[in-house]
Amino acid sequence: MSSTATGYRRTQDPVGYRVDVPRGWTRTEKQGQAAPVVVYDAPADGRRLQIFRIAEDTPAQSLDLAENDPGYGFARQPGYQVLDRASGTTWAELAYRYDDSDLGARQVVDHRFQAADGTLYAIRATGPAALAPARVREPLTRALASFCPTDTECR
């Protein structure tokens, strides 16, 4: 496993994985529909990482359901606009923007993937739409590069 990037800290999250998150971001946890949702918030600029296990059979299926479910799909959000969509054999990603009633215009990168132990997870990076997309994506990129389930051998 590579060393931790400058400005990041390696955490062994009690939910069951190791991940690098930006220094100074605060952790909260809430129970989601199927699993705990761990949230790391940036106190300074409104960025956020959400990490949770997904129940669907594939990352693509999970992302499609999250986007399009008639009851809660994020495609129903005001101002919803797809910015980019990509996928591979073991992952799927959707970048989009929407208008949050409390936080204003937001950009999101929702990445769903198969971890080293075969478990499926999602990591969502969000931030104000006014921020450069690279600033919103960077914590996600670092989290994905360092993500390792507990008791699993990772590269």
Amino acid letter, residue 87: S
Q: What is the pTM (predicted TM-score) of this model?
A: 0.93
Buried b (16+ CB within 10 A) or exposed e, 8-39: beebebebbbbbbbbeebeeeeeeeeebebbb
pLDDT value at position 2? 53
52-81 pLDDT per residue, tens: 999 999 999 999 999 999 888 899 999 999
List the single range of 65-79, 83-97, 101-115 with lowest mean pLDDT. Answer: 65-79
**Mean pLDDT, to the nearest integer, of 30-35?**
84
